[in-house]
């Protein structure tokens, strides 16, 4: 977070001007996080943003001159990237179930790299490129045979829809290399995400380095690009500690230097792909307390936005054991230390799982108060069942240099 940063004035203004529930994104925070990433990893990596984490076109447009690449995962995200003004050549396209009607317009537009995740996809892309009279650059996504402990989600080391299993690469990659309308320019691995352990991230990248080296030797490939799925996590819950990027670079930096020193990788561009790490801490989910009740000894604050607008904070987006997100009562002027009490925080839906917090210690909430859920800049409205029970859709607000802009994707009136 930016030193001395206090979001409450902007959060209050956003709620007053644009309504709630809302997502408020602070570009100053993204700018600071990107600067820290560049400072830590610039000796090795360019940066690619995973659009799936936040596909808002206004935010993507703000990123256009600040980031090196975009990674999309659907035809819809490709359209959003075009709406945001991104050049086709700076876009890669991942995803395990790409369809012909998604691939054709992307390849026709001059997509930078298609990330191949299966032989089926390679054959389809080759046919489309042949019909269009072009040769499509591709990266081959590899699924390693293990992922170190410490990652919140593992996409390899077990049966997985993502990429080509490393043990099958020796058979599959020569077959892809023989397809005349595809050109292999590199490899891609994203095998784990949401890790807060520097040693685990370093160990994961060691696996990448070994895998990339072996496959490139086998194919006699001097790659243009190698994509490292970052796995960099962010703290969501009370007591979690943010990553120290210096711990990662101190441990893995010498090995990255040695890898780059291998002649076949001298001109390779290493790319760090991430999403959540860059944007999640820059966003807040703001919801207004509609009703407060006592029920069997528990104070319950019922809000205008719940899991329908923020599935992740409700604990229903891949969380095994539900834990509260960090949240606070929005207050421009407050006592130094107002008395706190425990609250359950519920949303407006007719289901018992619509709960944003259990036993959360907050200043006493009353009707009309605003509650801000932290780390909401990634996997927000587009990862939530926003149409469930047809409550008002969440607003999205961009705060740049103190100026607020309604950038809502879903209610543009």
User: From CA 363, how far away is CA 375, in angstroms rounded?
Assistant: 20
User: From CA 413, how far away is CA 408, in angstroms rounded?
Assistant: 9
User: From CA 324, how far away is CA 239, in angstroms rounded?
Assistant: 11
How many Å is the maximal CA-CA distance in the chain?
71
- Token pair recorded at residue 52: 């799936």
Coil, strand or helix: which one is 18? helix
Verify whether residue 195 is a known catalytic residue.
no
Residue 290 is classified by DSSP as E
- Token pair recorded at residue 169: 């690469």
Q: Got the DSSP string for 346-407? A: E-SSSSTT-EEEEEEEEEPP-TT-EEEESS-SSS-GGGS-TTGGGPPPPEEEEEETTEEEE-
Helical (H) or strand (E) element with 78: helix 75-83
Q: Where are the alpha helices (DSSP H) in 110-244?
A: 119-132, 169-177, 198-219
- Residue among 134, 216, 303, 350 flagged as catalytic: 350
Residue 112 is classified by DSSP as S
- Token pair recorded at residue 331: 């207050």
Task: Tell how far CA 283 is from the center of its chain.
Answer: 12
Task: Tell how far CA 277 is from the center of its chain.
Answer: 7
Q: Which residues are designated catalytic?
A: 350
């Amino acid at each position: 977070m930016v030193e001395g940063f206090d979001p409450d004035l902007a959060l209050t203004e956003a709620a007053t001007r644009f309504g709630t529930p809302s997502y408020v994104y602070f570009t100053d925070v993204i700018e600071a996080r990107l600067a820290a990433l560049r400072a830590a990893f610039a000796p090795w990596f360019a940066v690619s943003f995973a659009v799936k984490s936040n596909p808002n076109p206004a935010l993507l447009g703000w990123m256009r001159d600040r980031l090196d690449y975009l990674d999309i995962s659907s035809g819809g995200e490709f359209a959003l990237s075009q709406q945001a003004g991104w050049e086709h050549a700076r876009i890669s396209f991942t995803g395990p179930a790409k369809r012909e009607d998604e691939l054709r317009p992307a390849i026709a537009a001059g997509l930078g790299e298609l990330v191949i995740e299966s032989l089926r996809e390679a054959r389809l892309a080759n046919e489309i490129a042949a019909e269009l009279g072009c040769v499509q650059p591709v990266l081959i996504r590899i699924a390693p045979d293990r992922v170190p402990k410490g990652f919140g989600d593992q996409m390899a080391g077990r049966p997985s829809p993502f990429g080509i299993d490393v043990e099958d690469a020796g058979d599959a990659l020569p077959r892809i290399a023989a397809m005349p309308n595809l050109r292999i320019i590199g490899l891609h691995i994203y095998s784990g995400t949401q890790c807060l352990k520097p040693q685990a991230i370093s160990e994961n990248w060691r696996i990448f380095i070994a895998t990339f080296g072996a496959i490139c030797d086998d194919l006699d490939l001097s790659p243009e690009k190698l994509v490292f799925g970052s796995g960099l996590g962010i703290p969501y819950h009370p007591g979690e500690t943010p990553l120290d990027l210096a711990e990662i670079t101190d441990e893995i930096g010498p090995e990255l230097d040695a890898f780059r020193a291998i002649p076949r990788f001298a001109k390779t561009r290493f790319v760090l792909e991430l999403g959540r790490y860059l944007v999640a801490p820059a966003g807040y989910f703001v919801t207004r307390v509609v009703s407060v009740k006592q029920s069997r000894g528990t104070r319950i604050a019922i809000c205008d936005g719940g899991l329908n607008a923020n599935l992740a904070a409700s604990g229903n987006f891949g969380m095994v054991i539900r834990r509260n997100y960090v949240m606070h009562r929005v207050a421009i002027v407050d006592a130094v230390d107002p008395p706190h009490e425990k609250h359950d925080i519920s949303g407006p839906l007719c289901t018992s799982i619509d709960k944003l917090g259990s036993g959360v210690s907050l200043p006493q909430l009353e009707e009309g108060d605003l509650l801000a859920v932290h780390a909401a800049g990634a996997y927000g409205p587009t990862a939530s069942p926003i149409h469930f029970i047809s409550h008002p859709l969440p607003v999205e607000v961009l705060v740049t240099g103190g100026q607020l802009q309604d950038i809502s994707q879903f209610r543009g009136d």
